[in-house]
Amino acid sequence: SQELEQSPQSLIVQEGKNLTINCTSSKTLYGLYWYKQKYGEGLIFLMMLQKGGEEKSHEKITAKLDEKKQQSSLHITASQPSHAGIYLCGAPGGTSYGKLTFGQGTILTVHP
Amino acid sequence: DAMVIQNPRYQVTQFGKPVTLSCSQTLNHNVMYWYQQKSSQAPKLLFHYYDKDFNNEADTPDNFQSRRPNTSFCFLDIRSPGLGDAAMYLCATNPGQGAREQYFGPGTRLTVT
């Protein structure tokens, strides 16, 4: 079965700093999703990547999928307190329709 | 706004007392999922419905059941909750027909006393 490993597990940064979160898969990725979760709430979709080398940006968040399609990174530029939360990567897989297997999450704290 | 709604947001139940969690959606999506997320862990898929077809994950305990009476509603029934079932329960939807993205509700946090 596919496993996703996220690093770091937690991250504390000062407002305005850049940061990167990584997601590494044990198998080739046929799609990679990034979600954000605030404590005690549901998941908010950020971006989806499908092709090797693909890069997408939304506001100050950029996600990339490497050429070999086994690793993705999420980069936040000039972080703000509103970026704080748990970032989860998810990948489709398994026999269930649309099933997503998630990484364990990265907890981001941004100090003002 | 079209959305996924979960009720209640917080649920407290006693050990062994059946409990039902509710999910509704206004997106008219074909697929509905239930995930269990324990503290500091990744969400884990329990089961899903594609229209009326129920699909159980192999490692989902028998204690967990689900009902989908119509397109809009899906319920998670826990027949005899144990302390280990305390978790956040997330409902998600997907349009089906090849669509990939899942839309999540805010979750229900279940406490078992």
Give the structural domain span for A37: 4-105
Asked, for residue A112, whether it belongs to a domain, the answer is no
Nearest to B33, CA basis, from B48, B45, B22: B48
Fold exhibited by the domain B4-105: Immunoglobulin-like (2.60.40)
Asked, for residue A111, whether it belongs to a domain, the answer is no
What Å distances lie between residue B86 and B12, B20, B36, B78, B81, CA to CA?
9, 13, 9, 11, 8
Per-domain boundaries in chain B: 4-105
Write out pLDDT tens, residues B51-90: 999 999 989 999 999 999 999 999 999 999 999 999 999 9
Asked, for residue A88, whether it belongs to a domain, the answer is yes
| % of residues, chain A, pLDDT over 90 | 71
The CATH number of whichever domain residue A75 belongs to comes to 2.60.40.10
User: Smallest CA–CA separation between A78 and chain B, in Å?
Assistant: 26
State whether A103 and B42 contact (CB < 8 Å).
Answer: yes
State whether A45 and B45 contact (CB < 8 Å).
Answer: no
| From A41, A48, A101, residue closest to B100, measured CB to CB | A48
Write out pLDDT tens, residues A73-87: 999 999 999 999 999
State whether B45 and A100 contact (CB < 8 Å).
Answer: yes
Q: Is B83 on the interface with A (CB under 8 A)?
A: no
